[in-house]
Amino acid sequence: MKKPIYIIFLILFLVGAPLFFFMALNTSVSLKYETEFGECISQVSGIDLCLQHDIFMALTYLSSLFLLLFLIFHKKLIKTKKTVNISDLNRSFDELKFQFEKGLTIEGHKNGTRYFGLEKVKEWKSKFGYVFNIHGNDHFIKNKPHFHFDHKEKGVSCKMSFDGEIFESNGKNEIDKKVLKELRYFLSMDRTQEIIVSKWNEKNPKLKYKIKASTQHRL
């Protein structure tokens, strides 16, 4: 449930538990003064005070139970919208390319081989300068969504399909063939498709695109 709804229910249970308990106590007092010993019907109002007392106690227990459950399982009850950041693509491709620059091949990566180097833990910064971007209120090209793939220093600026087809190349230079091969491999991964399609749908809700069936790999 959404957080505001969760808070409303939490307040209701928080207020309800002591309120119903107070009403149960008040009914107990009425039982003492408004009925004969062993009787339940009020001589003043004609209400079955025993039943009323049981109802208020049951509501007290229920409110207390739900309050406890809401407090314990609040993380599971509150729906948090996952934000997809396009920088995740930049970082993931950058890290994959770093593996290839260390001599790892695409075939080796497919087979699970990884390069591990000892580096200082620090905030990530792009090593190779390739940038993904998806614009809002955009349009399909050849009936397909697209992303922008740029490298300012190398004069690369392209519009590409989610499977790596180059629609337009507006930069001074073309994408290096080796980089293009690595990029298409990167785009074949399920995790890449999840991020890029989610970002497209977020920015272009009128042109929603469904994730294709599982391809080959996961990041």
DSSP 52-78: HHHHHHHHHHHHHHHHHHHHHTHHHHS
Task: Check whether residue 65 and residue 166 sit in a common domain.
Answer: no
Domain boundary pick from 47, 77, 107 = 77
Mean pLDDT, contiguous 10-residue spans, the chain (219 residues): 88 94 93 86 89 94 95 83 74 91 91 72 75 93 94 94 94 92 94 92 91 49
What stretch of H or E contains 45? none
Residue 128 placed within a domain: yes
Are 52 and 34 a contacting pair, CB within 8 Å?
no
Task: Check whether residue 48 and residue 117 sit in a common domain.
Answer: no
Task: Check whether residue 190 and residue 95 sit in a common domain.
Answer: yes
Q: What is the domain count for the chain? A: 2
Task: Check whether residue 39 and residue 138 sit in a common domain.
Answer: no
Task: Check whether residue 100 and residue 124 sit in a common domain.
Answer: yes
Q: Where are the alpha helices (DSSP H) in 35-175?
A: 49-72, 74-77, 87-101, 106-110
Residue 215 placed within a domain: no
Residue 82 placed within a domain: no
Task: Check whether residue 96 and residue 68 sit in a common domain.
Answer: no
Domain boundary pick from 77, 109, 135 = 77
Angle at 201 between CA 195 and CA 202, to 5 degrees: 85
pLDDT for res 65? 96
Task: Check whether residue 55 and residue 100 sit in a common domain.
Answer: no
Residue 219 placed within a domain: no
Segments forming the whole domain that contains residue 162: 87-207
Residue 102 placed within a domain: yes
Residue 212 placed within a domain: no
Domain boundary pick from 13, 48, 77 = 77
Task: Check whether residue 34 and residue 109 sit in a common domain.
Answer: no
pLDDT for res 183? 95
